[in-house]
Amino acid sequence: MKLEDLLNHTSEWLKGTGPNADIVISSRIRLARNLDKIPFPHWANKKQSEETLKTIEEAISKVDYLKNATIFRLATLDGIDKQFLIERHLMSYEHAQKSNSKAVVIDSEEIVAVMINEEDHLRIQVMQSGFNLYEAWNIINRIDDALAKELSFGYLTDWGYLTACPTNTGTGMRGSVMLHLPALVMTRQIERVLAAISKLSFTTRGFYGEGTQATGNFFQISNQVSLGHSEEEIINNINGLIRQIIEQEEQAREMMLARNRPMLEDRIYRSFGILKSAHIISSQETSELLSMVRLGSDLGLLKEIDRRCINELFIITQPAHLQKMEGKKLSTQERDVKRAEIIREKLKCK
């Protein structure tokens, strides 16, 4: 698989299918693992890092579930390639900062992505469309078990898996769910909800992970504590919390429809109208308008466009995607024009 092949592919997490897909974009589980004989990536020397890379690459090639996966060494990727992978949520921003002895492994369905020599030797992530943490857990378990047969992980009975950062020690697991909460934002309930989430030891992030702001009414919620809980507890906890948030968003949507349907329709149709006609559009405005269009589609008000098409637009209108499609570097102004062009094209075809 070449990186460019992904351009014509819809990532698993953008399919818009799965349980509660009207509110939950995707579910993600990631595991942090480290080889027991080599220092953590930040402490390893060049030789040790290279050894880690080769050892893990070899192990991955033996995992049945990953036989359709491709290993991309970061040294072979340019800046746009790396940003492209970040935009597709296949690689972290931190991983892209340095290239030496680093790689990312991606399966052809974009369900699994493995980062080698990120903060930990191994960061395995499994994505599922919709609210589907258990299925993601099933898949990641099989991969983890298969890798454990090939590799010896740092593990202490009292502590569990050892990780570079103590917050990941224990299960090394993080469960994250990406939610689309426009109604909670529009009815000004979101602050209250986010405050409650943070009290319960969960963290909220924006669409692009750690340090990013919530744009387009997207909120990524993950567990903060990995130590002292079993994998099942972690998933059950986050599952229970997400179920409550889904319910609140549903109620907020119903309330808006009941109390001010014309205003809501106006906002949704206008957003759709602007996206279909703009000739210059920023990334920020695109997210905001697409969020309204997605809400319109989810409420059955906008029938001309499906969820998958909207989800794809969120991704392909990002800077690196635009540049990959155009096959060259583009300035901000050029991207704003290209972005508008692609949106118009995409919204016409259906």
- What are the residues binding its own copies (CB under 8 A)? 262-263, 265-266, 269-270, 272-274, 276-281, 337, 340
Most distant CA atoms of the chain, gap in Å:
65
For the chain, the 3-state helix, strand and coil shares in percent, each to the nearest 5, are 50, 15, 30
192/270 with CB nearer its own copies: 270
> Element (H or E) spanning 180, and its range?
strand 173-180
Cβ at position 264, least distance to its own copies in Å: 9
Least Å from the CB of residue 344 to its own copies: 9
Q: Kindly state the DSSP code that residue 139 receives in the 8-state scheme.
A: H
Q: Which of 150, 334 has the CB closer to its own copies?
A: 334
Contact 126, 111 (CB under 8 A): yes
Nearest to its own copies of 278, 290 (CB atom): 278
Shortest reach from residue 313's CB to its own copies, in Å: 16
CB of 277 to its own copies, least distance (A): 3
Q: Among positive and negative, which fits the CA dihedral 89, 95, 181, 289?
A: negative
| Residue whose CB is less far from its own copies, 214 or 289 | 289
CA 205 to chain centre: 11
State both tokens at 125. 């992530």
The rounded distance, in Å, linking the Cα atoms of 112 and 110 is 6
The residue (of 5 and 266) whose beta carbon lies closer to its own copies is 266
| Rounded Cα–Cα distance for residues 313 and 276 (Å) | 12
The helix (run of H) or strand (run of E) holding residue 195 is: helix 190-199
Q: What is the 3-state secondary structure (H, E, C) of 34-93?
A: CECCCCCCCCCCHHHHHHHHHHHHHHHHCCHHHCCEEEEEHHHCCHHHHHHHHHCCCCCC
Residue 138 or 277 having the CB closest to its own copies: 277
Q: 112 and 31 in contact (C-beta within 8 Å)?
A: no
Q: Which residue has the tokens 């589609």?
A: 297
Residue 200 or 280 with smaller CB distance to its own copies: 280
- At closest approach, how far in Å is the CB of 185 from its own copies? 20
**In the complex with its own copies, which residue's Cβ is closer, 75 or 263?**
263
* Encoded amino acid at 101, one letter: S
CB of 340 to its own copies, least distance (A): 7
Nearer to its own copies, 79 or 273 (CB): 273
Q: Least CB distance from residue 258 to its own copies, whole Å?
A: 17
Look at residue 291 and give its three-state secondary structure. helix
- Output the smallest distance, CB 290 to its own copies, in A: 15
Nearest-Å Rg of the Cα atoms of the chain is 21
End-to-end Cα separation, the chain, in angstroms: 28
CB of 320 to its own copies, least distance (A): 22
